[in-house]
Structure formats: C-alpha cells, structure tokens
Structure 1
Amino acid sequence: MIGTILRQRYRIIKKLGEGGFCETYLAEDLDIPVTPKPVCVVKRLKPREINPDSIRLFEQEARILYELGQNHDQIPKSYAHFQEGQEFYLIQEFIDGHNLTQEITPGKKLGEADVIQLLRDVLEILVYVHKNKVIHRDIKPANIMRRKDGKLVLIDFGVVKQINTTIAIKSGSTSRTSGFGTVGYMPIEQAIGKPKLSSDIYALGMIAIQALIDLSPRLLAEDDDGEIIWIDQVEISERLKQFINKMVCCEWRQRYRNAKEALDELNKIFVINQRLLVVPKLVPVRLNGKYGYVSGGKLVIPCQFGLANNFSEGLASVIKGAKWGFINTIGELAIPYQFDNAFRFSEELAIVQIGEKYGYINTNGQIVIPCEFNQIYWFSEGLAAVQIGEKYGYINTNGEIFISCQFDRTLWFSEGLATVRIGDKCGYINTNGQIVIPYQFDNAYDFSEGLAKVTISGKDYLIDKTGKIVY
C-alpha cells in the first residue's frame, strides 16, 4: 500500500497498525496546496464479503463517525468514506500525540488524583457519545490518545453501532450484534454479542484498575461471583474503590447505566469546583499595613485587609476589623466577616473558628460540621484529622467519626496513607484506619510520588509504601 494514491488524492506514506479486518495508514492529502502536505489517517477495512448488508452497515457506521467527529473536539473528524473493489476506506483526522499505553505502562502506577482525572476526562467524552446512543465497544489505553495540547481524544470507533430502540427482536431484547472488543476490557454481555452503554463504563473501570495496580486486566483474578479481585492490591480512598467497583460489576444492570450517570456520581464524590477553571494566580501583598493581591504585575485587589491568606478553590480568607470572611478572585465578599479565624478551602470545605472551637464551612459559607473540636486539619481524600479530648482521629465530610480518636498525633492523608503517632513513634494508616506501616519512626511525613521522608535516630530516610527504606 505504501505509495498508493486513493481517489487521486490520498497518498499512503506509512503503515500505522493492523488488526483483525482493518489496516491503518498515514497518508498525505494531495489536494491541499501547501508544502509539506497535511496528513490524515486512512482505515482500510476488509470485510469477509461485500453484499448489500455490509455496504449498508459501512454507510451507517461512517455516518455515525462523521456526526460524532463534527460536533466534538475530542473525537477524530471524518473527512471521507468510500468503497474500492472489495475494500472499504475511511479517511479521518490525524491526532498528533501519543496513546495511553505510554502512560499506563508496566512498572508504573498512577496515583489516586491522576486516576480520578483520567476517569473524569474520558467520561466527559463518553457523555457525548452515549447521548448520541452510540457504544464505543473497544475502550482501552491504545484507543485513548493524549493530544499535544494535553487533551484526551477517543479514537477507533470502527465497530460502533447505532442503537435503534425501535428495532428489536420479537422477545423485546436488544438486537444481537457482534461481540467485538478486547479481552480484559470487554464485559460478559459484550462478549456474547449484546453490548450496553454500561459496557463502555466497565472497560474504563478496568483501565482505572490497571493504572492503579500495574497489572493487565487479563491477569486479574475473579471471585466465585465473577467479580474482579483487585482492592487488596492498592491503597486508595474507600470512595474511589466503591466508585470503580460499581463500574466493573459483572452484572451490567448493577453498573452506572451510562457515562452521564457515572460522571455525575464522580463529580459528586470528588467535587469539581468550577472556580478552579478560571482562577488567576493571586498573591497577597502588604502596603502601608494593609493587604491586597497582585497578579501579572498589577495590583488587582486593593490593599484593604488586616490580614490575607492565599487563594484556594477560588476563595481566600481575609480579616477586616476583628472578624474573618472570604473573598472571591475579583475581590468581592463571598462569605461575610463572622469568624474568629478562617483557613483555606480543601475539597470544598474550610476550617473556621468560633470562640475556642473549630468546625467546617462549605463554599456557600454554611457551617456543615459544627465548631466543636479543639483542633482540626483540612480535608484530604475525604477525611480530616480532629482532636477530641487528648486524642486524635478522623472524621468524614459528614462530620462523622470515621477512624476513632486513638492517636497522640496525626497528619492529613496523602496517596492513601496518613502519618499517626502513638507515644514517641510514628507509623502509617490507610483510609480504613488500619496500620499498614508499623510504629517505628521518630518522625514521619506525608507521601509524595510514592515516597515519604522518615527520621530514625536522627537520620533522614525515604521509604516506599511498604515501609521499606529505599534511600
């Protein structure tokens, strides 16, 4: 095929890949009067036979691809489709970037925050796909591209089917179609030729598990009910475990029904604050005894506050007179001055002090966890350390004691683990409160990139999440 010119326009210059009944090539578009010529992707489909049904199906799928790509920036555009001899051709936009097999690679695990972002990014594309009653049916790392601008692009819709709810077999069930997909990412109902929208949710959940535990889905064991066994291989928040478990339920009816339902739940559990998308970098500055904020070399919020803290999640705590409140990024008062002290927002909650006690408010300024604690920390991974009496434990975002107050000191959670102290030694617990690294360190700090600094007999070391000293 190299050097072949299709339709006197598309010159094949490189083979990109091959599978089952499809070959993929890179081609130059000779009709465009520039040098070098722009490139596109050519998919060469080789059906088992050409007949009216296969021609109709090709036209149908090509039309779906065209409509999807025309109206979403993160799905490749389709430029043309045609038949030559016993072969079909699709001409599509070339995505300049790399696929996720370069990010989800053997020997590398992604952290919780990265996986949540991956889930959110892919689900946002799938919401549009599912809204158009289309099932992708082959979601896997190789079919998710990261474009040069950092955005994800969902590729290879070569086997998508239009769901026609008005056409069904006499029994009333969904019409049976091909069980095409990739082993490990393909759920049971798809393997037997009856894919659902939730089949795509299953595949994405398997990608999340693969990224978290560094194990190919093909190698994951199942229990007697056919459910994937994976939770014991990673330390992440209980919320994320439950979310992914629902994505990969063996029974399709127990999963999220479609991408919108899954995305709504994800954004509810791991709140996305729209202010974060537009917040400029604002830095407190003090002039003549008062604080304001500068950005881009300009004073953008006049100096008028007695004290001012950094912005977090689109809000900053400031003091006027004797009380603290919160301003937004254009300097407007968002939460009135009413607190004896106030701190930054984390996971949509901020610590405030009234009298001698501490509690939490939401971004609307409502006290959602009463000021009844002697000492508290900000929320991280859905939990916050609090002091009751002489001991420390952890509460959830509802203010309920989640890990009992039994520690002499605690820190916030990071990468699924938190430092706790009993007596003169520190260890680490997971988000269920279980000791996973025993009390043995004089000092211990939070994890970052899979490592944490600890002190033993006056010397500093780095440990991994098993507690093993690596440096």
Structure 2
Amino acid sequence: MSQCLNPDCLHINPDGSQFCQKCGSKLRLAERYYAKSILGQGGFGRTFLAVDDFKPSKPPCVIKQFLPQAQGTATLEKAAQLFDQEAQRLELLGKHSQIPELLAYFTADNRQYLIQEFIEGETLQQELDNQGAFTENQIISLLKDLLPVLDFVHQNQVIHRDIKPENIIRRASDNKLVLVDFGASKQVQRTSMSVTGTVIGSAAYCAPEQAMGKPQYGSDLYSLGVTCLYLLTQVSPSNLYDPLELQWVWREHLNDNQLSEKLGKILDRLVETVFNKRYQSVAEVWEDLRRYYGKSP
C-alpha cells in the first residue's frame, strides 16, 4: 500500500500505484520514496513509515514532512527555520550509531522533506505501558546507555531540548537506546547561551531555565532525570513536583519499587531546579555513577 502525501488527501492506494487514485498526486517522492503509513504528527510536521525504492532490499525509512500548524508569517518562518535546522543537526549527529542517520533533505511540491533512518523498536513510553515501572537496575542501564549519546550531542555544541520517553527508542536489533527527534534541538553559538530564545520542548520534562528560553547543556540532563523519575513511578512529572513546597515528591510515588539512596542522590541532582546545583555535564554524572557503583555501574 502507498499513502498519499498530500496533506488534504492522505488516501491509501494499492501497491504499484504511481499516482493517488483520489487526488492525482504523485506517490513516489523524489522518484525514490514511497510512504506506507503515518507514524505520528507534531507541531511542525507529519512523519511516515516509508520505503526506499532505489535500493534492492527496499529498506524502510522515515519521511518527515514539514507541515506547520502555526499561523502567521513570522511563526511559519521560524517553524521552517527549525525544520531546516533539524536536517542540519541530523547530518552532523547521525554519524553516531544511536542517533538516526539523515538520508536526504529536499523540497518537493513546495514542501520541505527530511528522510531519515528508520529505527525499529519500542519507545520507552511504549515499554512502560507494556511492562510497567522500571526497576533501579533498568534505570542504571538506561543512564549507562544514553549518557555517552548525550555527551556526543553536547560535544557537537547541540542541546536536544526534548528528551522524554517518547523520544528514546530501544532498537529491536541490539536493545541499544536510540535518541530521536531533533526537531527541537539547538545549535549553540558562543554568544547564544545567555540570549533568550524561543521556548521549545515538552513542558513536563522542561528545565526551568529552558522554560524561560535559556536552555543549557544541563537542561538536557534535567529532562533525562525527569524521564527516569517518570519511568520509576509511572506518574506524570507534573504530579511528582510540589509547586507549593517547591520540591520534588517523587519518592512518595515509588509504591513498592525499591530504590537505593545512591541512585536517589543522582536523580535528585539531575532534576535540581536550581541550575548551579544540578550536574553541569555528562562527565559529572559519570563520575558519581563510578563512585557509587564502581567502574561498571
């Protein structure tokens, strides 16, 4: 089956069709990619599971179509700029084995398209829904697996800005965690760390300074920490923080999930709302993991 990419149609067509039977739009993008089904939709675009028809094995890939929901010329220009930046980020970062590779970026029918590697597996959100709350060992394993990826991202002067369970996929082929969706990521210029910018990210996982438009590398560590708290408790992050007492109350929601004091200390420092008291780098988190758990935490 082939899915029409026309946003006003999206008709499902039989295999072998060159044009949509409903609206007449060409089905093969750049004479190469066929959309099979919709994977998801966000504020800036729609993603499709697709097939690369140029390769003999017809491997799966992902088509991301720029389709902003926002209105107004300035807002649309900003959205287009962010989509373009996502392509640049993926080209820069996709060399890492745990970040999807950028396969192509082009304009067709006056729309921007980004083609990237398809990662087969479950998101951590799906894993949580299917298997229940994570254990301490699973959280330690998550940190061990993701921290080097995040370090690579930061070493390339990029802040992801949207780390959450839906954007982390456990790859089916090797059980490695893959960090996806760099649509909100920000390339850091030397002068930009102190300049207030656009507020982007998922509110429940967003560090206070990021919510004020001033994301830092430590903002990603905060989001990673909140992700861990959510996976441990299965409780929305907004219910794990008491705004009246200005403190996290996540331990009250552990139920029977046993957690050591040493992991608790690491998580507390990851989600510290006062920026200067939080871990400032991946290296600092690794240092505590090694101190508490030995060379191989």
User: Counterpart in 1 of 2:19?
Assistant: none
Q: How does 1:241-320 map to 2 (within 5 A)?
A: 241-273=264-296
User: Counterpart in 2 of 1:239?
Assistant: 262
Larger Rg: 1
Give the CA RMSD over aligned residues: 2.3
User: Counterpart in 2 of 1:146?
Assistant: 170
User: Counterpart in 2 of 1:209?
Assistant: 229
User: Counterpart in 2 of 1:374?
Assistant: none
What secondary structure is seen at the aligned counterpart in 1 of 2:113? Answer: strand
State how far apart, in whole Å, the 1-side matches of 2:232 and 2:285 are: 19
Structure 1 residue 108 displacement after superposition: 2.2
User: Counterpart in 1 of 2:248?
Assistant: 228
One-letter identity of the residue aligned with 1:67: L
User: Counterpart in 1 of 2:214?
Assistant: 194
One-letter identity of the residue aligned with 1:190: Q
Aligned residues: 266
Deviations 1:54-100 (A, max 9, x none): 66654443222111012x10000001111235532110000011111
Q: Unpaired runs of 5+ in structure 1?
A: 274-346, 348-471
**Which of 57, 62, 79 is 1:41 aligned to?**
62
**Which of 12, 16, 25 is 2:39 aligned to?**
16
User: Counterpart in 2 of 1:105?
Assistant: 129
Normalized per residue, the structure richer in helix is 2
| Residues 53 and 114 (structure 1), Cα distance of their counterparts in 2 relative to 1, 3 Å cut | closer
Q: Is the 8 A contact 1:80 1:92 kept in 2?
A: yes
Deviations 1:281-319 (A, max 9, x none): xxxxxxxxxxxxxxxxxxxxxxxxxxxxxxxxxxxxxxx
What secondary structure is seen at the aligned counterpart in 2 of 1:159? Answer: coil
User: Counterpart in 2 of 1:125?
Assistant: 149
Q: Which moved more, 1:139-148 or 1:82-91?
A: 82-91
User: Counterpart in 2 of 1:7?
Assistant: 30
Structure 1 residue 114 displacement after superposition: 1.4
* Higher RCO (C-alpha 8 Å, min separation 6): 2
Structure 1 residue 112 displacement after superposition: 1.2
Q: Is the 8 A contact 2:199 2:212 kept in 1?
A: yes
Taking structure 1 as the reference length, the TM-score comes to 0.53
Q: Is the 8 A contact 2:271 2:278 kept in 1?
A: yes
**Which of 115, 132, 135 is 1:91 aligned to?**
115
Post-superposition, which runs of at least 4 consecutive aligned residues in structure 1 deviate over 3 A? 47-61, 232-235
Q: Is the 8 A contact 1:136 1:200 kept in 2?
A: yes
One-letter identity of the residue aligned with 1:156: D
State how far apart, in whole Å, the 1-side matches of 2:260 and 2:285 are: 17
User: Counterpart in 1 of 2:89?
Assistant: 64
Q: Unpaired runs of 5+ in structure 2?
A: 14-26
What secondary structure is seen at the aligned counterpart in 2 of 1:105? Answer: helix
Q: Is the 8 A contact 1:16 1:26 kept in 2?
A: yes
**Which of 201, 222, 235 is 1:181 aligned to?**
201
One-letter identity of the residue aligned with 1:45: F
Structure 1 residue 267 displacement after superposition: 2.4
Pair 1:162-2:164 in alignment: no
Q: Is the 8 A contact 2:41 2:47 kept in 1?
A: yes
What secondary structure is seen at the aligned counterpart in 2 of 1:62? Answer: helix
User: Counterpart in 1 of 2:101?
Assistant: 77
Structure 1 residue 225 displacement after superposition: 5.4
Q: How does 1:437-452 map to 2 (within 5 A)?
A: none
One-letter identity of the residue aligned with 1:28: V
Q: Is the 8 A contact 2:161 2:201 kept in 1?
A: yes
